[in-house]
Amino acid sequence: MCGIVGYIGRDRAGSVMLDGLKRLEYRGYDSAGMAIMNGQGLETTRRTGRVAELEKALGNSPGGRLGISHTRWATHGDVTEENAHPHVSSDEKIAVVHNGVIENYLSMKKFLIEKGYTFQSETDTEALANLIAYHYAKEPEVAGKSRFLESVRKSLRHVEGAYGIAVICTDYPDELIGARKGSPLIVGIGKGENLIASDVNAITQCTQNVIYLNDGEVVHLQKEEFAITSASSKDVEAIIHQVDWDTSEAELGDFQHFMEKEIFEQPTALENGMRGRFSDDGSTAFFGGLNLSPRDLCNVDRILFIACGTAWHACLVAEYLIERYARIPVEVEYASEFRYRNAPLDKNTLVFAISQSGETIDTLAALREAKRKGYRTLSINNSVGSTIARECDGGIYQHAGPEIGVASTKAFTSQVMLAAMVALYLGRIRNLSFDQGTQIVEALKELPKQVREILGQSDHIASIAKKYAQAEDFLFLGRQLMFPIALEGALKLKEVSYIHAEGYPAAEMKHGPIALISPECPSVFLATSGGIFPKSLANMQEVKARKGPIICVASEDCDLPAEIIDDLIKVPESHDIVRPILMSIPVQLLSYYIALERGCDVDKPRNLAKSVTVE
């Protein structure tokens, strides 16, 4: 949550930070603010609402050589200008922007009030600004040491909770300090300028050279140099990574919204995710970064997937696929639940984390709990250098490109495709024949073309969306592999259109949800051919008997009676292993077009942020 951008260097701090905030607005958009050292002291500007409101308040091309900025997703306190970041200490010497939650801020605040410090906001962050000011006032001047740096370091020793921070001090106009614990922070190394940000998207317009800070590290930046130390003041060797994607990937181009752009980018994202990952004989997949041999994987008795939100739905698909094709028992846990319960796991359990950002706080904490207990860990994520990617024993990079829209689309289908490839790889190690493997590989290679065919129906799906846009309840129903897609379809509709929607296994409809069926409650059925198709057809008949409208997303080989379907979206006939991906595309488009009809902000849905980095 929340977006941080800090800058030190040439006389363009304000404009660089403003551009960075626009790129980070998907992380939080309740309010935005900026503090700049302009040669005459500290100038702070804050506004509620979107970054555009801050831009208006700043006027033309704000300069400055040093500054910090922030776009907020509220945790402590209402959405007000007083609660917007940056927060400045009551002696007006220290300014802080912060992502995370300081759990002991109330005791800190009580202590500081007794020492004469005053507070203007309801936030936890202001307590940290005043605590740094308190230690700064007490810190003696020592030759060769930054009094400012030492005061930040001493303050952080008293902080309980998670933070990613950027700090400036009026007495040190040539220094910028950042630190992280549980919340991502990235350093950008430029020429005559250096930056701090919570996401690499914010700084690639200035530099492609980045450093991913680890928990407990503090970075001390000047315009020509930098130093990274641990919480205990030990020097840390910095590893500089080069960002390998074009900044234009994070721009809208000819599309109206990022969600639309990312839906239509899915064929390319899928191609990129599978490129170079099939064996020469075309019978299996392989992954270079697992760091586990086939022999190691043969010894795995159980797989545990952990994730949150959309990624959790991808894990459910992985469960069906791995159990079907590799015959390995799979469990799926909400990361937020797993981390707080002492679940018994077999000693030969492999723990797999899925997270688009690689920074999801609950998934990271659950992963660390699994590692603490000695389990091998792997990940699927879309962010090179992310904390989850670095802390796992191995992993698979999605290569989906930056995903800016808050509602995940291409990252989800990429995760599902990689889960299918993992199922293939594990299956070929264990029980799948050569012929079965080649059939799956051919189906995967055909997938991007089939997704393009479905995207070609966008006008048809938009017309269906127009018909149902004013409904206030939806049901999404599917069986077996289609159940996770029903959950994902319902989540997408909730996220972007604010319509109440629920996903269920179709057979469970009779166990309660059928009470919701009415002419005002559409049902979206996800139907595929096969032995279970007659059961899905019977469920549709039950809805139709109660006068419920039916939107059916069905594979082309399904024989559907026209009289029970109100609206039909066809997807190409395909191998079972890729059907979850193909069936996802129409429900994404349906949610997108319904949200447009309702006038919703699809890229920045209310109350949501892209990356959940606070508990």
Query: For 593-604, what is each residue's pLDDT tens digit?
Result: 999 999 999 988
**403: domain CATH number?**
3.40.50.10490
Which residue do the tokens 């006389």 mark? 11
For residue 8, what are the β-bridge partners?
66, 194
Residue 481: predicted pLDDT: 93
Q: Which of the 8 DSSP states describes residue 308?
A: -
The answer on 491 and 419 residing in a single domain is no
Average confidence (pLDDT) over 132-147: 85
Least confidently predicted of 54-63, 375-384, 595-604: 54-63
Query: Are the C-beta atoms of 540 and 514 separated by less than 8 Å?
Result: no
Average confidence (pLDDT) over 529-553: 87
Distance of alpha carbon 244 from the chain centroid:
19
The answer on 172 and 51 residing in a single domain is yes
Query: Are the C-beta atoms of 282 and 441 separated by less than 8 Å?
Result: yes
Rounded CA-CA distance 127/109 in Å is: 5
Share of the chain above pLDDT 90, in %: 68
In a domain, 609, yes or no: no
Least confidently predicted of 154-158, 224-228, 537-541: 537-541
pLDDT over 60 at 253, yes or no: yes
Residue 41: predicted pLDDT: 85
Rounded CA-CA distance 61/63 in Å is: 6
In a domain, 393, yes or no: yes
pLDDT over 60 at 23, yes or no: yes
Query: Are the C-beta atoms of 193 and 64 separated by less than 8 Å?
Result: no
The answer on 474 and 405 residing in a single domain is no
Domain that holds residue 174: 3-243
In a domain, 74, yes or no: yes
Rounded CA-CA distance 426/594 in Å is: 39
In a domain, 483, yes or no: yes
Least confidently predicted of 15-29, 114-128, 456-470, 518-532: 15-29
pLDDT over 70 at 372, yes or no: yes
The answer on 520 and 466 residing in a single domain is yes
The answer on 230 and 257 residing in a single domain is no
Residue 247: predicted pLDDT: 56
The answer on 554 and 469 residing in a single domain is yes
Structure tokens at 226: 């930098």
The answer on 479 and 350 residing in a single domain is no
Strands across the sheet containing 376-381: 330-334, 302-307, 349-355, 376-381, 394-397
Beta strands in 308-410 (DSSP E): 330-334, 349-355, 376-381, 394-397
Question: What is each CA distance from 277 to 148, 271, 282, 350, 384, in whole angstroms?
Answer: 49, 10, 10, 21, 18
Which residue do the tokens 């300081």 mark? 102
Question: What is each CA distance from 367 to 300, 302, 340, 392, 395, in whole angstroms?
Answer: 18, 16, 12, 8, 13
Residue 506: predicted pLDDT: 86
Average confidence (pLDDT) over 567-578: 95
pLDDT tens by residue, 278-296 = 999 999 999 989 999 999 9
Rounded CA-CA distance 479/487 in Å is: 11
In a domain, 612, yes or no: no
The answer on 437 and 471 residing in a single domain is no
The answer on 230 and 209 residing in a single domain is yes
In a domain, 610, yes or no: no
Residue 326 — very low, low, confident or very high, per pLDDT cuts 50/70/90? very high
Q: Which residue has the higher pLDDT, 24 or 569?
A: 569
Helices 434-455 and 410-430: crossing angle in degrees, nearest 10, is: 170
pLDDT tens by residue, 443-488 = 999 999 999 999 999 999 999 999 999 999 999 999 999 999 999 9
In a domain, 417, yes or no: yes
List the helix and strand counts (H, then E) for the chain. Answer: 18, 24
Total domains in the chain come to: 3
Average confidence (pLDDT) over 488-516: 91
3-state DSSP call for residue 183?
A: coil
Residue 36 — very low, low, confident or very high, per pLDDT cuts 50/70/90? very high
Give which of 342, 407, 347, 413 is closest to 380, Cα–Cα: 413
Backbone angles phi, psi at 33, to 5 degrees: -160, 165
Query: Are the C-beta atoms of 198 and 4 separated by less than 8 Å?
Result: yes
| pTM of the predicted protein model | 0.86
Rounded CA-CA distance 94/86 in Å is: 10
Rounded CA-CA distance 107/133 in Å is: 16
Structure tokens at 518: 């009415």
* Residue where a domain stops, chosen among 425, 453, 481: 453
* Active-site annotation, residues: 2, 610
Average confidence (pLDDT) over 79-91: 92
For residue 43, what are the β-bridge partners?
36
* Residue where a domain stops, chosen among 430, 453, 476: 453
**125: domain CATH number?**
3.60.20.10
Work out the angle at residue 458's Cα, subtended by the Cα atoms of residues 264 and 586, and round it to the nearest 5 degrees: 80
Residue 182 — very low, low, confident or very high, per pLDDT cuts 50/70/90? confident
Residue 514: predicted pLDDT: 85
Residue type, 424: L
pLDDT over 80 at 144, yes or no: no
Query: Are the C-beta atoms of 175 and 223 separated by less than 8 Å?
Result: no
Residue-wise burial string across 454-488, b where 16 or more C-beta atoms lie within 10 A, e elsewhere = bbebbeebbebbeebbebeebbbbbbbbbbbbbbb
The answer on 504 and 408 residing in a single domain is no
CA quadruple 548, 554, 558, 563: dihedral, nearest 10: 30
Question: What is each CA distance from 264 to 124, 409, 511, 568, 597, in whole angstroms?
Answer: 41, 9, 37, 21, 19
In a domain, 352, yes or no: yes
Residue 1 — very low, low, confident or very high, per pLDDT cuts 50/70/90? low
Rounded CA-CA distance 440/430 in Å is: 15
pLDDT over 90 at 361, yes or no: no
Rounded CA-CA distance 29/33 in Å is: 11
Give which of 201, 174, 169, 200 is closest to 187, Cα–Cα: 200
The answer on 164 and 278 residing in a single domain is no
pLDDT tens by residue, 201-230 = 888 888 989 999 988 999 999 999 999 998
Mean pLDDT of the chain: 91
Rounded CA-CA distance 26/496 in Å is: 13
The answer on 256 and 230 residing in a single domain is no
